[in-house]
Amino acid sequence: MHTFGRRGYRVASMEEIAGLAGVSKPLVYLYLNSKEELFTACVRREARALAASVRDSVDPRLPADRQLWAGLTAFFTHTAENPDGWAVLHRQARTHGEPFALEVAAMRDEMVARVASLIGAAAREAGTGRTPELAARDMTGLAQALVGAAESLAGWRHEDGTVSARDAAATLMNFAWVGLGELLRGERWTAR
């Protein structure tokens, strides 16, 4: 039913959705009781699929930067392979009312938290004792930035088309892990 992704929540009519799914309208109502529930189900499914893709790609025994690299690659791969699902999550669900927005916000917050804890882990790994003051909120802020950057790059890839998932992930790793400052001084983060 990813008609939603292509047409948008409001424009996609139940007529069209049912038609493209090859069934009749009342049947849709038999299984999912309203357009709202139908959309909620779509959103939830896509959210879970994306979260699972990312989660499953990450080996928690690896160092933090390698975990982040793996997660980003999975994220870019998944969004590229499921453009409609990504559109539903990123565009439609957040625009059409609280119920859907909350659904996707939960998933996103979880991702942010995961990234934040990854940053915390990295801080401990790098722990020279010089960064005790990196508070929880700072880490959340950084994680928000990183997630937003990833979302933006996903959209960019979608339009450009010539950027591979690894390219996008590398760009972001360089951006985030090395930092523009170091980057400009010639530093590079490498996958291995």
Partner DNA sequence: AATGAATGAGGCTTCATTCAT
Partner DNA sequence: TATGAATGAAGCCTCATTCAT
Where does this chain bind DNA (CB under 7 A)?
10-15, 23-27, 29-30, 33-36
Output 59 or 133, the one with its CB closest to its own copies.
133
Instruction: Choose one: 12-20, 50-58, 78-86, 179-187; the region binding its own copies (CB under 8 A).
Output: 179-187
Name the minimum Å distance from CB 61 to its own copies. 20
Hey, what amino acid is at 117?
S
The structure tokens listed for 36 are 């709202």
148 scored as a contact of its own copies (CB under 8 A): yes
151 scored as a contact of its own copies (CB under 8 A): yes
Contact 101, 54 (CB under 8 A): no
CA distance linking residue 59 with residue 52, whole number of Å: 13
Nearest to 157 by CA among 46, 49, 79: 79
167 scored as a contact of its own copies (CB under 8 A): yes
Quick one: which of 96, 117, 158, 166 contacts its own copies (CB under 8 A)?
96
CA distance linking residue 96 with residue 166, whole number of Å: 32
Name the minimum Å distance from CB 56 to its own copies. 24
From the list its own copies, DNA, none, partner contacted by residue 179 (C-beta under 5 to 8 A by kind): its own copies
Output 44 or 158, the one with its CB closest to DNA.
44
Hey, what amino acid is at 15?
E
CA angle 171, 173, 174 (to 5 degrees): 65
Q: Which residues of 39-50 are buried (b: 16+ CB within 10 A; e: fewer)?
A: bbebbbebbeeb
CA distance linking residue 131 with residue 116, whole number of Å: 15
From the list DNA, its own copies, none, partner contacted by residue 63 (C-beta under 5 to 8 A by kind): none
Which residues are at the interface with its own copies (CB under 8 A)? 8, 10-11, 65, 91-92, 94-97, 119, 122-123, 126, 128, 130-131, 134, 137-138, 140-142, 144-153, 155-156, 163, 167-168, 171-172, 174-187, 189
